[in-house]
Amino acid sequence: MMQHSESVETQAENKPGIIRVESMHKWYGDFHVLKDLNLAVDQGERIVICGPSGSGKSTFIRCINRLEEHQQGKIIVDDVELTDDVRHIDSVRREVGMVFQHFNLFPHLTVLENCCLSPIWVRKLPRREAEAAAMEYLERVKIPDQAAKYPGQLSGGQQQRVAIARALCMKPKIMLFDEPTSALDPEMIKEVLDVMIELAGSGMTMICVTHEMGFAKTVADRVIFMDEGEIVEEAPPTEFFSNPREPRTQKFLQQILQH
């Protein structure tokens, strides 16, 4: 592992294929949720995944840090293949941050403690250092003044920004966003999206499952459309929105852009 992280330091800026998914399948019982997915993401790339509900997009990104198991095919994250091996899973999760739809902040810990938890116990940082780093990230998501509060005392938008800061505190190479704005009131969506856009500007590798098409247009390098467990279309945003090829994509875009 040590060897592994050292090699990261010396890597070139745009390492190709930091995430590689090769003919990956997943079933829930007999139900085929993910069908033959293939995807390669380079370092610094920003991918937006969209699609109707139940299309398997959340399940897909949850496979990338092994919150869900795949049954067939390969997932390789930063040269580590996800198998049943616990050490592989642990090392991947260390490099991959995740933001959930329902925040999943730890309600019994303060905002600052939420952020420091993993750096202290997993990265083994001194508490003082971890707290300083956490404050830096909280400033970056613009809520340093809430550090001593408990998650339950914050608004949804604030909670989600804390969740982003918490994930960033692990200094991940990749960030996964699982519908980060779906559980928010409309007026709070923007504050979260602003943080995400700022993050994208800093060169973070990001995979976002979201319905925010505006965000996709401004930030994404590629947009992936999923339906019924398959990747139906994959294109740069300009092409994806102006000129979708597949009829299923066209239908989806029509429905979503009518609003």
Partner 1 sequence: MKKQSIDSISARPKPWYDPRIRALFFQVVTLGVVFWAGWVLIDNTLSNMQSRGISTGFGFLDETAGFGIIMHLVPFDATMSYGRTFWVGLTNTLLVSAMGVVAATIIGFLVGVARLSSNWLVAKIALVYIEVIRNIPLLLQIFFWYFAVLASLPAPRQSVEVGGAFFLNNRGLYLPGPVTQDGFGLVWGALLVAIAAVFGLRSWTKKRQKASGQLFPTVKVSIAILVLLPLIAFFLAGQPLEWDLPALKGFNFGGGISLIPELAALWVALSLYTASFIAEIVRSGILAVSKGQTEASKALGLPNGLTLRLIIIPQAMRVIIPPLTSQYLNLVKNSSLATAIGYPDLVSVFMGTTLNQTGQAVEVVAITMGVYLTISLLISLLMNLYNRAVEIKER
Partner 2 sequence: MTESTIKPPKKNLGPVKWMRTHLFSSWYNSLLTLVVGYLLLTSVGPLVSWVFLDATFEGSGPGDCLGEGACWLFVSQRLNFFIYGFYPDELQWRVDIMFGLLALAFVPQFIEGFPARKWLGIFGMSGLPIIGYVLIPGGILGLEEVESSKWGGLMLTLILAYIGILASLPIGILLAIGRRSDMPIIRGLCVVFIEVWRAVPLITVLFMASVMLPLFLPEGVSFEKLVRALIGITLWQSAYMAEVIRGGLQAIPRGQYEAANALGLGYWRKMGLVILPQALKLVIPGIVNTFISLFKDTTLVLIIGLFDILGAVQSTIADPAWQNVAIEGYVFVAFCFWVFCFGISRYSQNLERKLDTGHKT
Q: Does 125 bind partner 1 (CB under 8 A)?
A: yes
Smallest separation (angstroms) from partner 2 to the CB of 27: 4
Answer with the entry of partner 1, partner 2, none that 10 interacts with (C-beta below 5 to 8 A by kind).
Answer: none
Q: What is the 3-state secondary structure (H, E, C) of the chain?
A: CHHHHHHHHCCCCCCCCCEEEEEEEEEECCEEEEEEEEEEECCCCEEEEECCCCCCHHHHHHHHCCCCCCCEEEEEECCEECCCCHHHHHHHHHHEEEECCCCCCCCCCCHHHHHHHHHHHCCCCCHHHHHHHHHHHHHHCCCHHHCCCCHHHCCHHHHHHHHHHHHHCCCCCEEEEECCCCCCCHHHHHHHHHHHHHHHHCCCEEEEECCCHHHHHHHCCEEEEEECCEEEEEECHHHHHHCCCCHHHHHHHHHHHCC
5 contacts partner 1 (rule: CB under 8 A): no
CA–CA separation, 174 and 46 (whole Å): 10
Residue 22 touches partner 2, criterion: CB under 8 A? no
Residues 6+ apart with CB under 8 A from 121: none
* Of the residues 15, 35, 88, 123, which one makes contact with partner 2 according to CB under 8 A: 35
Part of the chain binding partner 1 (CB under 8 A), chosen from 40-48, 71-79, 119-127, 138-146: 119-127
- Counting contacts by CB under 8 A, is residue 25 touching partner 2? yes
Q: Is 96 in the site for partner 1 (CB under 8 A)?
A: yes
Q: Is 53 one of the binding residues for partner 2 (CB under 8 A)?
A: no
Q: Which does 72 bind (CB under 5 to 8 A by kind): partner 1, partner 2, none?
A: partner 2
Query: Is 145 near partner 1 (CB under 8 A)?
Result: no
User: What is the token pair recorded at 172?
Assistant: 């991940």
The interface mask with partner 1, positions 51-70, x = CB under 8 A, is --------------x-x---
2 contact, one of partner 2, partner 1, none, CB 5-8 Å limit per kind? none
In the list 26, 57, 70, 94, the residue contacting partner 1 (rule: CB under 8 A) is 94
Interface residues toward partner 2, by CB under 8 A: 25, 27, 29-30, 32, 35, 71-72, 228-229
Interface residues toward partner 1, by CB under 8 A: 65, 67, 86, 90, 93-94, 96-98, 100, 102, 104-108, 117-118, 120-122, 124-130, 149-150, 152-154, 166-167, 170
